[in-house]
Amino acid sequence: IRPRRGYLEPGTQLSGIYQIDAPLAAGGMGEVYRGHSIQTGDAVAIKVIKADFAENESALELFRKEARALHNLQHEAIVRYFVFAVDRDLQRPYLAMEYVEGLSLSDMARAGPMPTDQAMALRARIALGLHAAHERGIIHRDVSPDNIIMPQNDVRQAKIIDFGIARSTSLGAGTI
């Protein structure tokens, strides 16, 4: 992504817990960065609400709903969420989650057809992850090849990412 107003520079610390390493992606309301835990060095993905939305109460509530919905959602096929906080210095909320390194399903599809056994394994893994989310009343609403990542390019380890526009049937009205 291109640096612009509100962009977090590498080295920026969040709540004294995480440090930004590099930008990964930007969307409508947020930006995602690769970062690490300052104490352990563990890699994390950090989703930060854009500066333009930091004081928008509706946007903040949607961000909070995403954090609440995903707090207890644990499944090996779903990216793990660690913490939701508001950095005091930046006055911007952020979500820290598992950093998943690997190709997206979009990237893999550009390389050509997937062997049938791999496609079946991928389908089963993603279905199990979505089932776990649905059991908790969470509907992803943006399952796309860009939101499926294969660690070590292995479909058997695929992870569903980006629950940013998910809908929760248990957290009241509104899209997350």
> pLDDT confidence of 173, banded at 50, 70, 90?
very low
Check residue 3 and give its pLDDT.
41
CA dihedral 78, 79, 84, 88 (to 10 degrees): -160
Neighbouring C-beta atoms of residue 163, cutoff 10 Å? 27
What lies within 8 Å, CB to CB, of 20 at 6+ separation is 8, 9, 10, 11, 12, 13, 14, 33, 35, 46
pLDDT tens string 54-100: 788 887 887 787 788 778 788 999 999 999 999 999 888 999 999 99
Q: How far apart are CA 176 and CA 100, in angstroms?
A: 22
Q: Which two tokens stand for residue 79?
A: 């990216």
Q: Which stretch of 38-47, 125-134, 136-145 has the lowest confidence by average pLDDT?
A: 136-145
Full-model pTM:
0.81
Question: Which residues lie closer than 8 Å to 74 by C-beta, 6 or more apart?
Answer: 80, 132
Catalytic residue, candidates 142, 146, 154, 162: 142
Q: What pLDDT score was predicted for residue 175?
A: 42
In the prediction, which pLDDT does 174 show?
Answer: 46
Q: Rounded CA gap, 131 and 56, in Å?
A: 33
Question: Is 89 an annotated catalytic residue?
Answer: no
